[in-house]
A and B are shown apart, each in its own frame.
Chain A
Amino acid sequence: DAGVTQSPTHLIKTRGQQVTLRCSPKSGHDTVSWYQQALGQGPQFIFQYYEEEERQRGNFPDRFSGHQFPNYSSELNVNALLLGDSALYLCASSLGPASGDGSYNEQFFGPGTRLTVL
Chain B
Amino acid sequence: AQTVTQSQPEMSVQEAETVTLSCTYDTSESNYYLFWYKQPPSRQMILVIRQEAYKQQNATENRFSVNFQKAAKSFSLKISDSQLGDTAMYFCAFITGAGSYQLTFGKGTKLSVIP
Q: Give A contacts to B, CB under 8 Å.
A: 33, 35, 40-45, 48, 55-56, 58, 88, 90, 92, 97-104, 106-112, 114
A44 and chain B: residue at smallest CB distance: B105
The 3 closest A-B pairs by CB, nearest first: A42-B105, A102-B97, A45-B102
Contact A40 B47 (CB under 8 A): no
Write 23 A-B pairs (CB below 8 A) sorted by A numbering.
A33-B101, A33-B103, A40-B107, A42-B107, A42-B108, A43-B103, A45-B103, A45-B104, A56-B101, A90-B45, A98-B95, A99-B99, A100-B97, A101-B97, A102-B97, A102-B98, A103-B97, A106-B47, A109-B44, A109-B45, A109-B46, A110-B44, A112-B43
Contact B97 A33 (CB under 8 A): no
Contact B100 A56 (CB under 8 A): yes
Q: Which of B43, B91, B97, B102 contacts A56 (CB 8 A)?
A: B102
Q: How far is the CA of A56 from the CA of B96 in the complex (A)?
A: 13
A98 and chain B: residue at smallest CB distance: B101
Chain B residue total in the interface (Cβ 8 A): 26
A46 and chain B: residue at smallest CB distance: B102
Q: How far is the CA of A108 from the CA of B103 in the complex (A)?
A: 12
A contact residues around B95 at 8 Å (CB): 98, 104
Contact B99 A100 (CB under 8 A): yes
A contact residues around B108 at 8 Å (CB): 41-42
